[in-house]
Amino acid sequence: MIGERRPEKVGAAKRRAVFRPAARPLTILAALLCAAPAFAADDSSDSGGPHQAAGFDIFGSSDADHFQVVKTGLSYFPDYENTQKYWGARLEHFLFSSDTGGSGHAERGFINLADSIGDWNYGGTVGTDGKTILGAGSIFTQGFLGKDSIRQEYFLNRDLVETPKGFNQGLYFTYLGGSYDIPLDDRNTVTALIGSQVFTGKNYRLIARSNYIYVLDPDLGLSLQFRAKYFWDSLPREFDYFSPRWYMEGVPTVQMRRFYQRWQFLVAAGYGARRNNGAPWQGAGLAQVSIISPRFGSNWVIDTSFLYSNQPIVQSNTYSYEQATISLIRRF
């Protein structure tokens, strides 16, 4: 899924954050574990293998303004068949800090669920921070308008705006849309995404993204890509996340994807140009590394990733953002 996971930030807030836990962790986790069976489809099949699982994950991010976020999560799955069929609950500890925006933390709880209905696969999380409903989910299938080669996906994501004002004032966004993977031939593919992001307040954002992918060497897993993005905001600069009237970028990217004993290794790097209204063209760069364990036939599921990108703050200023993620799940 291609998504706007984190609205871009334009600066640090001046007032000190006041952000405290909204609910007791054990209360949230107990409630979600009790409610989870109601959300899971009845499955009477028995594959003869492990069915329960437990997991740990950690996410960290930092930017040029020293605004830092750390999320740690613990998960338990009473039923975990594979990465596309499971249900369980996850408790998350959310910590943020900023040189000028204060610091704080919160506990959040989620139900995790993935399964299929006919030819459609779905998965996601739904939960709360004690103030509002949060979560992310998608549903996808292979085939669109009579073309079996086209993959279609539809998604919905609701989360906190990760800026000082987002924490201080309780700003949220809801993002929904659809994406399509369209193979042109064995080596050429086009992806397209159309979405809308609605923020707390009066601003909403229209988003379009597209990637052109040419497989230069299938044996090496080497591809040349052009990644393009455009968005338009109805009410620019309402809060402290990056929100000009319009923004566009195009980034030529080189990517290599290799497999070793069913493990996937991916490295990507790109550099292009970006611009928003009232600002000149500037450089746009990205770097990405990820390692993913086999998705089936193993009792361990391991995902790790690192991402770097730079984004504009206001006018001609520059911005840098790094994030790292590691996720471990063990079936038993």
Per residue in 248-287, pLDDT (tens digit) is 999 999 999 999 988 999 999 999 999 999 889 999 999 9
Cβ atoms of residues 126 and 146 within 8 Å: no
Among residues of the chain, what percentage have pLDDT more than 90? 65
| Res 162 pLDDT > 80 | yes
Provide the CA 86 distance to its chain's centre, in angstroms. Answer: 19
Spell out the domain ranges in the chain.
25-40+50-331
Report the pLDDT value the prediction gives residue 278, as an integer from 0 to 100: 86
Question: How big is the CA angle at 292 (ends 289 and 295), to the nearest 5 degrees?
Answer: 155
What confidence tens digit (pLDDT) does each residue in 224-246 have? 999 999 999 999 989 888 899 99
Residue 46 tokens, joined: 């028995």
Please give the mean pLDDT across all residues of the chain: 85
Question: Which residue, among 83, 78, 6, has the nearest Cα to 38 in the 3D structure?
Answer: 78
What are all long-range contacts of 24-27, with beta carbons under 8 Å and residues at least 24 apart? 24/107, 25/91, 25/93, 25/107, 25/109
Q: How far apart are CA 155 and CA 97, in angstroms?
A: 30
**Which range in 50-64, 214-228, 286-300, 318-332 is most confidently predicted, on average pLDDT?**
214-228
Model pLDDT, residue 12: 38
Beta bridge partners of 191: 181, 211
pLDDT for residue 275: 93
- pTM attached to this predicted model: 0.83
The reported pLDDT for the residue numbered 101 is 65
Which run of H or of E encompasses 35? helix 25-39
Q: Report, as an integer, the average pLDDT of 108-113.
A: 97
Tokens at 170, concatenated: 């309780």
Bridge partners, residue 162, by sequence: none
Q: What are the backbone dihedrals phi and psi of residue 175, each rounded to the nearest 5 degrees, phi first?
A: -125, 125
What's the CATH architecture for 25-40+50-331?
Beta Barrel (2.40)
> Which tokens belong to 189?
């593919």
Residue 40 has pLDDT above 90, yes or no: no
Q: Is the pLDDT of residue 60 over 90?
A: yes
For position 4, what pLDDT does the model report? Answer: 55
